[in-house]
A and B are shown apart, each in its own frame.
Chain A
Amino acid sequence: NAGVTQTPKFRVLKTGQSMTLLCAQDMNHEYMYWYRQDPGMGLRLIHYSVGEGTTAKGEVPDGYNVSRLKKQNFLLGLESAAPSQTSVYFCASSFGPSSYSNQPQHFGDGTRLSIL
């Protein structure tokens, strides 16, 4: 039972490089999310999607792009990495909105990204 799988688990980039983080879920969830976690900041929402082909901005979207071409996958792209994007990135998915108590967000184990 895989749940939410994030690829890769670790990555080191140089400033200005680009990369894509992949999130895959096997629970047939409609909603998917990308968060970043920084020390003393909690989890902050970057972008989210409420269904295949849809994306929307979260709290801290600048410097990131996303795509949801397939229901099970949600990609997070960094076009030109900056040291301020050093963080742990978490993907999550849910069947419906967060207020559905029996359908909470399920998280992946995170991607630790360092930008030098």
Chain B
Amino acid sequence: DQQVKQNSPSLSVQEGRISILNCDYTNSMFDYFLWYKKYPAEGPTFLISISSIKDKNEDGRFTVFLNKSAKHLSLHIVPSQPGDSAVYFCAASAPRVGNEKLTFGTGTRLTIIP
């Protein structure tokens, strides 16, 4: 049972436009969420995180939005750049109930078109 779902395997966006990557979760105990970025032949690298006490967190061009009632989070990249082309994984954990382990989604491959 996939508790963290990324329903779009791929996404193509023009350079300079906004990229929106989506993630849904089913476990209501999850209260901490992260996004990782992965280039081919490299390990994932941490991008941004958000805890359930917030509904938005920004870091430069990257913003993560959390909608707890819908069990949905999204990553916005503005403006999109060619170097953003990668696979993006969302991940979730439930530290409030002692579950610090990360559960990852299946990833979305983002391609930025010059």
Given contacts A43-B44, A43-B104, A107-B43, contact A99 B32 (CB under 8 A): yes
Main secondary structure of the interface of B (DSSP, over half): strand
Place the interface of chain B in its size category.
20 to 34
What's the least CB distance linking B8 to chain A, in Å? 13
Taking a contact as CB atoms closer than 8 A, the residue among A45, A58, A90 that contacts B43 in the complex is: A90
Give complex CA distance A42, B44 in Å: 11
Q: Is B82 an interface residue (CB 8 A)?
A: no
Those of A87-116 within 8 Å (CB) of chain B: 90, 92, 97-99, 101, 104-110
Give complex CA distance A34, B79 in Å: 34
Q: How many residues of A contact B (CB 8 A)?
A: 24
Give complex CA distance A23, B84 in Å: 28
List the interface of chain B (C-beta within 8 A of A). 2, 4, 6, 32, 34, 36, 41-46, 49, 51, 89, 91, 93, 95, 100-107
**28 CB-based A-B contacts, threshold 8 Å:** A4-B43, A35-B104, A41-B106, A42-B107, A43-B44, A43-B91, A43-B102, A44-B104, A58-B101, A59-B103, A90-B43, A90-B44, A92-B43, A97-B95, A97-B100, A98-B34, A98-B91, A98-B100, A98-B102, A99-B95, A99-B100, A101-B49, A101-B51, A104-B46, A105-B46, A105-B102, A108-B43, A109-B41
